[in-house]
Amino acid sequence: MRIGVYICHCGLNIAHTINVESLRDKVSELNDVAVVKNIQFMCSDSGQDSIVQDITDLDLNHILVAACSPHLHEQTFKRVLEKAGLNPFMLEMVNIREQCSWVHMDNPQMATQKAFDLIRMGIARLKLLDPLQLKKVPVRKDVMVIGGGVAGIEAALTLANSGHHVIMVEKEPTIGGKMALLNEVFPTNDCSICVLAPKMTDVNQHPNIDLITLAEVTEVSGPVGNFNVTVTRKPRYVDEDKCKGCVDECGRVCPVEVPNRFDSGLGKTKAINMPIPQAVPQVVYIDNEYCVGCGLCKLACPADAINYHQKEEKLEFTVGAIILSTGYSHFDASRKPEYGYGIYPDVITNMELERLLNAAGPTKGRVLSPSTLTVPEKVSFIQCVGSRDEQVGNPYCSRVCCMSSMKNAQLLKERYPDVDITIHYIDVRASGEMYEEYYIRSQEMGINFVRGKVGEILKDSDGKLKLRYEDTLSSELFEEPTDLVVLATGMENVKDADKISRVLNLTRRTDRFFSIAHPKMRPVDSHVKGIYIAGCASGPKEIQVSIAQGSGAAAKAMQLLSKGELEMDPLSAHVNPDKCIGCGICVDVCKFNKITMIDRKAVVDELSCMGCGACSASCPADAIWMRNSTDAQIMAQIHAATEVKSESPLIVAFLCNWCSYTCADLAGTSRIQYPTNIRVIRVMCAGRVDPSFVLEALEHGADGVLVAGCRLGECHYIFANYNAKQRMEALKEVLADVGIDPGRLSVEWISASEGERFANSIEGFVDYLKKIGPIGSELKEAEQ
């Protein structure tokens, strides 16, 4: 084995604190180290060329770079190894800048010692690395889009126009979603259906899009790139190929009149109907819930399109990626009984007002008080009904309600200039492009704004509605009569979100919307590779943001499938079937459902495995290992960290790659100083930390062990940190039982942005360990 070690000065970022010459001399004495070089800037062209040249001239087969965080340049140096003809996985990066020189500037001597220890730990792991090979598997380029709202439409058209075959699945009889039901859209007050209908038609006519309505995805299996999807399509009882969309003929003879749910129940329709005038596909459907089977529509249909014999059918597809764009549901205003929705006819919702304003709505655009059928003289909007409300379980803002109410208030004012309009708000949210101007315009039109939430709606002795509210700007209580109340109901996730979660194996946030991989850096990625989320499925947002996310999700899917093949992540979990005892614990632990039991042996879907390592840490038979993060490699790092106890107390820390390790990097970039006592081992997830790692560290000289992962509920690997939490809590009990202070194991759940908190936790842990003293006596008592 011939190891090349390269120590970066990073100008003075490292060399100002660490004695790089002394460090080089120490490292050169280590076994199997063929060459050690100090280089001003390792990431420079000359620095990279030096490695390439040495690999060739000195026949090096393992490379260690001691420099900045691997988050910054690990891929850079992997490419250097590839350029030199060496397997890129024979690289180890040691962080002596962010987590050494920058955080120990006041103690150069110990910073140098710590840098040496980190390099020894890196070499110990490096010696056990395997030259992994990237396997490639073919994938399908077809993409399924679930949900035909504006986000799904944009995603489907973007993909189809790029040459991908798209299957769009929509549970309603028409695509268009909530946007197709709106009257106009802010901030330009464009006709909603005028701008959306052409796109709806494009979806239906595009040669690369198969549109399936009245359908739901009921099963998804298989790996990314080759998802096997089962779609269940309900019968329309109308042949789409034959129907001409002339609903007047069949609807005219239908004897059954029902509330029109596409008009929010305000208008009436027939059991056979066209959902909306601009429906796509332009085909009627029979609502089986209300149809009495009289047969009159079949007799009246000139195209012979009625088919009562249609049955539910299951369709099978194999697709490379899935885009979820299922939209949202409106909050049920009857859950706020103080507003009398469903009791007082003159209390309606914003969506109901949208349909009343719409020329294709139940009143052909006339807005009348339901109880008097006259134009109201006073209209009161109440904001945040079902949003920013802990009592109903929706503490979040629904983002569009303020602007939606302003838009409808403006339209009312334009049609009925004499109407008195007041918007009762908590805070006005008008932060988008042109939104502030829109708010000012509303005020200039004479629309009143009162800050303060309405407490309740009553009826006076004359049967007139009366609002009881506080004006928080004047600190006065008021009771005012009104003719029409409009409730700005918030957004909630779709009603069948639980079912969708189970089918697609997606997680949901505390607000019940579907979780994305990262709220900033990965806004359309789900936790499942190959499944993307667009629009309001991941939370409330405006139409333009939904459209942008539809395009973004499409771009992600195209990027994933562009080569027609996918590389299997070599860092995935692997099962040794000879060791597997068939207990199934790993199946329960894997929240991605990427482990199955076949013939009583665990089998990992290595293409889709996320590489968190939670299964490996939970396996009682040590039958699962993580390539290039094996138990042996981690144990070697532990032994190297504790081999020479250069200072006391000594802390071995396991930091998760995504949050706590990044947080430690942030402490460095912020120059936050903390004790040098910590020796860091990077793991992909806190869930990878096996209790045996902790025990090994304590038995071999560490005075304390820190396990730090993402904040609970924010784990990159869904709930793997909850597994770690349970495991570490159980281990603390074991330590206490054998007489070892459980405080020697510190567990932190920390975000990538909490650098100062990380530093403080190290200081506090060091102080605690100094207080209780060395671990030696406790270990002796435990052995006895």
pLDDT score at 784: 62
The residues pairing with 59 across neighbouring beta strands, listed in sequence order, are none
346 vs 344: CA distance, rounded Å: 5
Give the Å distances, CA to CA, from 636 to 113, 642, 706: 19, 10, 17
pLDDT score at 646: 77
**Cα angle 410, 411, 413; round to 5:** 65
Residue 626 has pLDDT above 80, yes or no: yes
| Average pLDDT, integer, range 21-39 | 96
Residue 115 has pLDDT above 80, yes or no: yes
Give the Å distances, CA to CA, from 136 to 139, 563, 627: 9, 11, 17
- Helix H, strand E, coil C: the string for 199-244 is HHHHHHHCCCEEEECCEEEEEEECCCCCEEEEEEECCCCECCCCCC
169 vs 147: CA distance, rounded Å: 6
DSSP summary character for residue 687: G
| Average pLDDT, integer, range 269-274 | 96
Average pLDDT of the chain is 94
Question: What is the reported pTM?
Answer: 0.81
pLDDT score at 386: 96
463 vs 452: CA distance, rounded Å: 25
Which pLDDT band, with edges at 50, 70 and 90, does 440 fall under?
A: very high
Give the Å distances, CA to CA, from 380 to 400, 454, 486: 18, 10, 6
Number of H helices, E strands in the chain: 21, 38
637 vs 128: CA distance, rounded Å: 10
**Cα angle 609, 717, 399; round to 5:** 125
Which pLDDT band, with edges at 50, 70 and 90, does 510 fall under?
A: confident
Which pLDDT band, with edges at 50, 70 and 90, does 722 fall under?
A: confident
Strand boundaries in 503-549, DSSP class E: 531-533
Residue type at position 225: G
Residue 666 has pLDDT above 90, yes or no: yes
Which has more confidence, 571 or 147? 147
Three-class SS of residue 121? helix
Q: Dihedrals φ, ψ of 781, to 5°?
A: -65, -40
The domains of the chain, with CATH numbers, are 1-134 (3.40.50), 138-234+312-324+502-566 (3.50.50.60), 236-308 (3.30.70.20), 329-492 (3.50.50.60), 572-624 (3.30.70.20), 629-784 (3.40.50)
425 vs 441: CA distance, rounded Å: 17
Residue 232 has pLDDT above 90, yes or no: yes
**Cβ pair 488, 400 in contact under 8 A:** no
The pLDDT tens digits for 288-325 are: 999 999 999 999 999 999 999 999 999 999 999 999 99
